[in-house]
Structure 1
């Protein structure tokens, strides 16, 4: 079996999870990968702004030329692959894969619907229709379409093509737990800020009295589905209610200015525009609580985001919105709050400040950690490929 495309497993670990899971099941996987080098946000922005498309097309063609050479060399050495997995954000790559491998089982990892993502980020009209058309063309080129939730599988023109594979988390997200420091020791006596001052990276910190502090982390693209303004209001209100929180906010995006506005003057907040992917697991693992998503957009009600799986794998208690896919996937192992309800989220943060409540939540989280390992989440895809005699 080969993986094929312009995916970037360092930025987007979904393909890495699938590859690791397949290999754990004894599947020989050869990667033919020429990363395009654009982030998800950059790709969506290019598709929303047609004048940016020449840059995308030029780089895509260079990557494709290299991929064709890779495919020819692989065919000479190994013969025709029984199955070809087109990696995440492979809307265009699957077209080339279908041409190069007409008799192989082509699997498209369709984690993101382009039209749906653009609509969630504020696009409308012709652009969304064109991107929806691209989605349809991409899935038409595949024999098997991998989605992350059943809600997304039902969006396919032919849902019977779909196989639901949870996003999961790479095993390196579990590595921080090897630290000799017990997770419970992350709740410690710290100086609780009484007033704020900004540093060069936007962090705010001063100090007054010492009390037990709950450390909380959020990381993401600040898109509407993530509900960053809801999260910010909840943190503000929890602190105002006396909860001693230390909160790390990582990322940039369209809702970042609103989140900063809501949290202006709230003590204990540290902001980072960017954290290198290799450094993110350790950063998240250093916190008690990882926050998921809280938006009430249609897309937000259909997804289980990476950060929920990654936070759980890193040893955090995960708090996220109570949506059908999140409850179905991990409801017994995460703390769920009503969608877009800042008051409920604030109350949950206050509750988790109690050591007993936090300990109980950690025990629930620990019981779910093995369920999100690559070799477990990939089992439905392995079963489907075996059914097709492609393994």
Structure 2
């Protein structure tokens, strides 16, 4: 029996980890999980992970999860000790998270150089490197893949969890209901969407719900107030999945990603997949990453010609587009599952080989 060891898993219920572990379990792969030690510093955590990994018994592959890139050296030592392959999930890189997504540091800062080095090591030390889109794979090869032997890169789409189930669009009585959920960070480009909402004509009836960490919402609340949209937009703190499902069923449009970074243009975000699978219209930028699924879900995507406010407002008011494709949107869940299955089957075959 093939055995794998997951190292430094932050959350076993996180959709990406769950999708990977479930696909392996279905193929009869035996998996052991070493969870991330909490309430201790980096050095002690690393040593504890290393000890747990070395003592874990036989394994054929060591898998470093999506939030653990900075611990790649730990996973590499464990893999070498076990004579196993090292699989690194690069879905959440250090540089893009701290420099591009959140703009926590500038691109010229020492931190930026350090994070890029960590990402480089994660890429170079891996035998198999996982990423979520072809566009991001190509970006990785341009950045890090110039040497003679880059790792094998497998594309594993984010896809949608089981709770993102299709349901008919609710009645338009009371207007169009727009839903945004996620973190308030530059990656999502929510300010562009807010400006787009301010360009909606007065005869178009709409409302919006923004769900995310309340402590980070103040700049967006201020912008909403400045544009005179306070009576149209409701801010809610982050909610558990069961409540998010209710909000998803109650909306017509899910907001995707409108950021300017290379990741924003190459990723297909969780909420884009979830909105599609739930049979909703997804308003998101027409990016190189989105191009990979654009033709598969033509009736699910609202893609403005650019990210200008008038373009976003224009496609939101194009209700004729909403009148067609309801059956296709309702069936989108099946196509999401087929798309995921194709890519995950390749991954499982590689682990079993």
TM-score normalised by the chain length of structure 2: 0.83
Aligned to 1:295: 259
Q: Distance in 2 between matches of 1:253 and 1:341?
A: 27
Deviation of 1:309 after TM superposition, in Å, equals 0.6
Deviation of 1:65 after TM superposition, in Å, equals 2.1
Distance 1:68 1:242, change over 3 A: farther
Residue by residue over 1:368-389, the C-alpha shift from the partner in whole angstroms, topping out at 9 and shown as x without a partner, is 322333x7425435425535x6
Aligned to 1:19: 21
Deviation of 1:344 after TM superposition, in Å, equals 1.2
Aligned to 2:87: 107
Residue by residue over 1:48-71, the C-alpha shift from the partner in whole angstroms, topping out at 9 and shown as x without a partner, is xxxxxxx6516734xx62674376
Residue 341, structure 1, aligned to residue 341, structure 2: no
Residue by residue over 1:239-285, the C-alpha shift from the partner in whole angstroms, topping out at 9 and shown as x without a partner, is x4322112110114898444323322322311012112443233223
Map 1:178-327; keep pairs closer than 5 Å. Answer: 183-184=168-169, 186-190=170-174, 213-238=175-200, 240-252=201-213, 256-264=217-225, 265-266=228-229, 267-327=231-291
Moved over 4 A (4+): none
Map 1:79-228; keep pairs closer than 5 Å. Answer: 80-102=58-80, 103-120=83-100, 121-122=102-103, 123-124=105-106, 125=108, 126-154=110-138, 155-156=140-141, 157-158=144-145, 161-174=152-165, 177=166, 183-184=168-169, 186-190=170-174, 213-228=175-190
Aligned to 1:41: none
Deviation of 1:189 after TM superposition, in Å, equals 2.7
Q: Distance in 2 between matches of 1:310 and 1:149?
A: 16
Distance 1:275 1:335, change over 3 A: same
Q: Which runs of 5+ in 1 are unaligned?
A: 39-54, 191-212
Q: In the comparison of the two structures, how many residue pairs are matched?
A: 332
Q: CA RMSD in A?
A: 2.8
Deviation of 1:346 after TM superposition, in Å, equals 1.0
Q: Distance in 1 between matches of 2:209 and 2:60?
A: 46
TM-score normalised by the chain length of structure 1: 0.75
Deviation of 1:218 after TM superposition, in Å, equals 0.6
Residue by residue over 1:3-44, the C-alpha shift from the partner in whole angstroms, topping out at 9 and shown as x without a partner, is 4123333674211122223334x2324241314569xxxxxx
Distance 1:367 1:141, change over 3 A: same
Secondary structure at 2:52's aligned position in 1? helix
Q: Which runs of 5+ in 2 are unaligned?
A: none
Secondary structure at 1:133's aligned position in 2? helix
Determine if contact 2:256/2:284 at 8 Å carries over to the other structure: yes
